[in-house]
């Protein structure tokens, strides 16, 4: 394996690093990574950061140049994620729009949809969310019950979505709704582009275990969408959703690179924490556990690179991404739990109560979602078993 970047890739990396040094929030590179907790201030902070990304040409980098993107290669996208993980950059507020909705519209959207939405997605004028999961349809997406009924050129939408990231800040939603009941779950689903600011849409934030409010419930009570808001064809939303998901090419890379950074911070935590006057990093058992995590994070990285190579050669991602997702989410949980254990009694304390870095507590509590979001570990194991190992499918009763 040759891990060296080409000259053009190195130039891309250098350009991005220089931009980050110039544009990250003040003190960010020195470790003062503070995102406001107040909902309004946090929203303003994230919008401002996304605006900077857009103005600098760092939103939608894989989009074709004629639509405002950089036409970045897959390797350039990977470098982008690697550099963002290195500096622990603030989250990109419109990631659903730029990574998934926009590319889908560029591929199969109508001329009207491209003209109406593409520019505003890229520059952050309109923020997008994704209306997929429902209270009774999480991993089993085809079991959705939200309905859309046609009346003239309008579609009347009723139902509920849940665990929708940033829905309380979104202007538009890429929504899946059932438009026909054929008796087959994957049929009769249609994809709509829904205005979040209309009277028929209600958003309620969900207070997570780490006291943050990034997830939401959405209620649709006679909400309206029009024929022009349909992506693809009526009742063909399942195919459209697969197209949309295929554009999220580097989500696993994001988590893989973050874990490399997280390991470095875990080592620094072990060096800073003391027991009986000695750094925990001097304890043989702690050093052994750190060595194990070092091995696991590197194995995860090299396995990802192997799968990335296969993707480049084949021209499309394969089922191996499920292996990466499964391993990275479970390793992330494991490392954060160990960080809390290193803190001893202080690990049980909350905001302002301990002398240790409270980000560990925040991230540890957030990590319980790792093995659920983006497809549960159980779903990933099924994919690995059936599509990689060739095992028989589950028996359906």
Question: Would you name the residues annotated as active-site residues?
Answer: 248
Centroid of chain to Cα 9: 24
Positive or negative, the CA dihedral 245, 247, 252, 254 is: negative
7: tokens are 């000259």
Q: CA 359 → CA 29, 42, 92, 279, 380, distances in Å?
A: 16, 16, 19, 20, 28
Closest to 380 (Cα-Cα) out of 321, 331, 333: 321
Provide the 8-state DSSP code for 33.
-
Contact 146, 159 (CB under 8 A): yes
Contact 106, 71 (CB under 8 A): no
Contact 359, 268 (CB under 8 A): no
Q: CA 239 → CA 29, 64, 190, distances in Å?
A: 42, 23, 9
CA dihedral 373, 378, 383, 384 (to 10 degrees): 110
Contact 111, 235 (CB under 8 A): no
CA dihedral 251, 252, 254, 255 (to 10 degrees): 130
| Exposure on the CB side of residue 106, measured as CA atoms within 13 A | 22
Question: What is the greatest pairwise CA distance in the chain?
Answer: 76
């Amino acid at each position: 394996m040759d891990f060296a970047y080409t000259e053009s890739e190195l130039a891309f990396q250098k350009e991005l690093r220089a931009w980050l040094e110039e544009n990250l929030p003040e003190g960010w590179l020195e470790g003062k990574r503070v995102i406001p907790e107040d909902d309004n201030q946090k929203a303003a902070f994230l919008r401002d950061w996304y605006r900077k990304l857009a103005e600098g040409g760092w939103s939608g980098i894989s989009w074709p140049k004629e639509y405002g993107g950089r036409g970045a290669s897959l390797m350039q996208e990977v470098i982008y994620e690697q550099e963002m993980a290195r500096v622990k950059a603030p989250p990109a507020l419109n990631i659903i729009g730029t990574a998934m909705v926009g590319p889908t519209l560029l591929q199969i959207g109508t001329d009207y949809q491209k003209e109406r939405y593409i520019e505003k997605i890229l520059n952050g004028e309109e923020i997008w969310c994704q209306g997929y999961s429902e209270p009774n349809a999480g991993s089993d997406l085809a079991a959705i019950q939200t309905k859309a009924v046609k009346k003239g050129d309008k579609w009347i939408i009723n139902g509920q979505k849940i665990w929708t990231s940033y829905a309380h800040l979104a202007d538009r939603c890429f929504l899946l709704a059932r438009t026909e009941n054929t008796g087959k779950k994957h049929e009769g689903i249609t994809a709509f582009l829904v205005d979040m600011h209309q009277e028929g849409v209600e958003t309620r934030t969900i207070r997570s275990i780490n006291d943050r409010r990034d997830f939401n419930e959405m209620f649709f009570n006679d909400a309206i969408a029009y024929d022009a808001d349909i992506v693809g064809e009526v009742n063909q939303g399942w195919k459209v959703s697969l197209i949309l998901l295929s554009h999220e090419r580097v989500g696993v890379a994001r988590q893989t690179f973050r874990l490399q950074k997280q390991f470095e911070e875990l080592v620094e935590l072990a060096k800073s924490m003391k027991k009986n006057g000695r750094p925990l990093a001097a304890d043989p058992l702690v050093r052994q556990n750190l060595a194990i995590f070092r091995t696991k994070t590197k194995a995860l990285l090299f396995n990802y690179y192997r799968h990335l190579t296969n993707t480049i050669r084949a021209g499309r991602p394969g089922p191996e991404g499920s292996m990466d997702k499964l391993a990275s989410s479970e390793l992330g949980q494991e490392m954060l739990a160990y960080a809390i254990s290193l803190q001893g009694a202080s690990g049980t304390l909350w905001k302002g109560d301990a002398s240790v870095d409270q980000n560990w507590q925040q991230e540890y509590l957030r990590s319980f979602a790792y093995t659920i979001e983006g497809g549960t570990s159980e779903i990933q194991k099924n994919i690995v078993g059936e599509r990689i190992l060739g095992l028989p499918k589950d028996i359906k009763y």
